[in-house]
């Protein structure tokens, strides 16, 4: 269920980042070192992206290579389409603050850009756990999510946020549901989660960081 949900979030993030940066900075913005804070990290991330492009068997990548010699890397809407969520997250985090980066965060109802950077990293980490069939229910996550006190749309209040264990999966589920309600409210992630948790013993809910009567909170309804 979490894997499916993150896939929807990933598609939306990828689309928004490619679209807004291409509008402002051109087709190959992802290869422009002037857009990035740390040029050494940028070079490493672009190297990773090039490897992902080389591994891709997508028809549009093959077509670009056959038809064009320059630029060597395809435009952003091709290159980042085959990038892993981890690579996309690292590129976005390293980009300097600006109008395009701000617009992407705004479209996800996130006031602080640093929070979106963190959420992308945490979603990517959880996605990798799922992809390798790892457990989530009693895991202390190494990727600590930052939960905001102030949000554009409905969330928990400051007191409630302070009581959340941010290294448990429930904290990440809060962030996921916040984004999904914006990008695809018909996905009904909250309803699916509540249904799944009816089959889960209460002591397991606690191990995942769920609060008592969490399902009654207005955020999930």
CB of 197 within 8 A of CB of 210? yes
pLDDT in tens, 86-121: 999 999 999 999 999 999 999 999 999 999 999 999
User: DSSP characters for 156-187?
Assistant: --HHHHHTS-TTSHHHHHHHHHHHHHHH-GGG
Domain spans of the chain, in order of start: 2-107, 113-220
Burial bucket for residue 216 (CB in 10 Å: 0-12, 13-18, 19+): exposed
d(CA 185, CA 112): 22
Residue 100 token pair: 């395009």
pLDDT in tens, 71-82: 999 999 999 999
Provide the pLDDT for residue 153. 96
Provide the pLDDT for residue 70. 87
pLDDT in tens, 130-149: 999 999 988 999 999 999 99
- Kindly state the percentage of the chain with pLDDT values over 90: 93
């Amino acid at each position: 269920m979490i894997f499916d949900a993150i896939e929807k979030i990933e598609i939306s993030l990828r689309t928004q980042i490619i679209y807004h940066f291409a509008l402002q900075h051109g087709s190959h913005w992802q290869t422009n070192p002037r857009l990035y804070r740390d040029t050494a990290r940028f070079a490493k991330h672009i190297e990773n992206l090039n490897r992902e492009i080389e591994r891709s068997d997508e028809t549009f990548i093959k077509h670009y290579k056959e038809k064009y010699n320059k630029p060597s890397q395809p435009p952003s809407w091709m290159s980042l389409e085959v990038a892993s969520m981890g690579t996309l997250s690292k590129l976005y985090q390293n980009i300097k603050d600006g109008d395009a980066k701000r617009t992407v965060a705004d479209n996800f109802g996130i006031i602080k850009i640093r929070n979106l950077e963190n959420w992308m990293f945490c979603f990517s980490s959880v996605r990798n756990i799922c992809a390798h069939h790892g457990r989530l229910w009693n895991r202390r996550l190494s990727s600590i999510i930052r939960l905001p006190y102030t949000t554009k749309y409905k969330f928990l209040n400051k007191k409630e946020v302070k009581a959340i264990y941010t290294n448990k999966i429930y904290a990440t589920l809060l962030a996921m549901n916040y984004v999904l309600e914006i990008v695809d409210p018909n996905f009904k992630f909250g309803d699916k989660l509540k249904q799944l948790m009816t089959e889960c013993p209460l002591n397991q809910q606690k191990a995942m960081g769920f609060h008592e009567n969490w399902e009654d909170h207005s955020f999930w309804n």
